[in-house]
Amino acid sequence: AQSVTQPDIHITVSEGASLELRCNYSYGATPYLFWYVQSPGQGLQLLLKYFSGDTLVQGIKGFEAEFKRSQSSFNLRKPSVHWSDAAEYFCAVAASTNAGKSTFGDGTTLTVKP
Amino acid sequence: DVKVTQSSRYLVKRTGEKVFLECVQDMDHENMFWYRQDPGLGLRLIYFSYDVKMKEKGDIPEGYSVSREKKERFSLILESASTNQTSMYLCASSPLLGAYEQYFGPGTRLTVT
């Protein structure tokens, strides 16, 4: 069965600082990996996705993520955080063998200090 | 852009009422999902549909049913609402083939009193 772990429940960074959110997954074959962002009271928005090719993927809002098969990780990064990035971030994994259903991590809440 | 809409942003219902939550997507996606989101519990899948009139139970289907009569519309039904069904309900859709990314609606905050 597929699973996702986001080790950090809450992260606080200063505006302008770099950001890395961790995600570890468990799945036997090559997974489909995603990062989503959720602002308070809103639905989730897709930031980026990986399913093949270059292991460094670029997303919207200046985010990027790197797939590392050896570490079963798909960490999200941003070089300089803006106050508007404060939100909850979810990592997810999907598989073609599971009818495309995704398993979501429990989320990481990002607070941005001025 | 893919658009997923949900019929209500906020809903207040009484215990025992029958509640309908509607979701519509405009991208001809085969897959549609209903989740509930509660603090500390993450997103939990209630039901999944991969085609018209086809459905599959998710992780927490008890107390819920669904209907998918048209490809673009997926309804979640609470037959007899209870206070423990107070939650944020999120609908999503995704294509059958491809990378399986999901597109979410804005959510319905349901309160059952």
A114 pLDDT higher than 80:
yes
Going by the DSSP 8-state scheme, the letter that residue B15 receives in this structure is T
Using CB atoms and an 8 Å cut-off, which of residues 40-69 of chain B contact chain A?
40, 42-43, 45, 48, 50, 56
pLDDT digits (tens, 9 = 90+) for A11-67: 999 999 999 999 999 876 778 999 999 998 889 999 999 988 889 999 999 999 999
pLDDT digits (tens, 9 = 90+) for B69-81: 999 999 999 999 9
Q: What was the pLDDT predicted at A89?
A: 97
Closest to B31 (Cβ–Cβ): which among A34, A46, A100? A100
Mean pLDDT over B75-102 rounds to 92
**Measuring CA to CA, which residue among A36, A67, A64, A43 is closest to residue A54?**
A67
Mean pLDDT over B16-30 rounds to 95
Closest to B104 (Cβ–Cβ): which among A44, A49, A106? A44
Q: How far apart are CA A46 and CA B103, in angstroms?
A: 7
Using CB atoms and an 8 Å cut-off, which of residues 52-91 of chain A contact chain B?
90
Q: How far apart are CA B11 and CA A109, in angstroms?
A: 26
**Measuring CA to CA, which residue among A108, A77, A91 is closest to residue A49?**
A91
Beta carbons of B99 and A32 less than 8 Å apart: yes
Q: Does residue B92 sit at the A interface (CB-CB below 8 Å)?
A: yes
Mean pLDDT over A65-79 rounds to 95
pLDDT: which is higher, B33 or A52: B33
Q: pLDDT tier at B88 (50, 70, 90 boundaries)? A: very high
Beta carbons of B90 and A43 less than 8 Å apart: yes
% pLDDT > 70, chain B? 97
pLDDT digits (tens, 9 = 90+) for A82-108: 999 999 999 999 877 777 789 999 999
Task: Please work out, in degrees rounded to the nearest 5, the angle formed at the alpha carbon of residue B35 by the alpha carbons of B85 and B82.
Answer: 10
Q: What was the pLDDT predicted at B72?
A: 96
Q: Does residue A97 sit at the B interface (CB-CB below 8 Å)?
A: no
Beta carbons of A104 and B42 less than 8 Å apart: yes
B97: Cβ contacts below 8 Å, ≥ 6 apart: none
**Measuring CA to CA, which residue among B15, B21, B7, B28 is closest to residue B98?**
B28
pLDDT: which is higher, A95 or B33: B33
A78 pLDDT higher than 80:
yes
Residue of chain A minimizing CA distance to B90: A43
Q: What was the pLDDT predicted at A2?
A: 81
Q: What was the pLDDT predicted at A47?
A: 97
Contacts of A46 in chain B (CB under 8 A): 101-103
CA B108, distance to chain mean position in Å, is 9
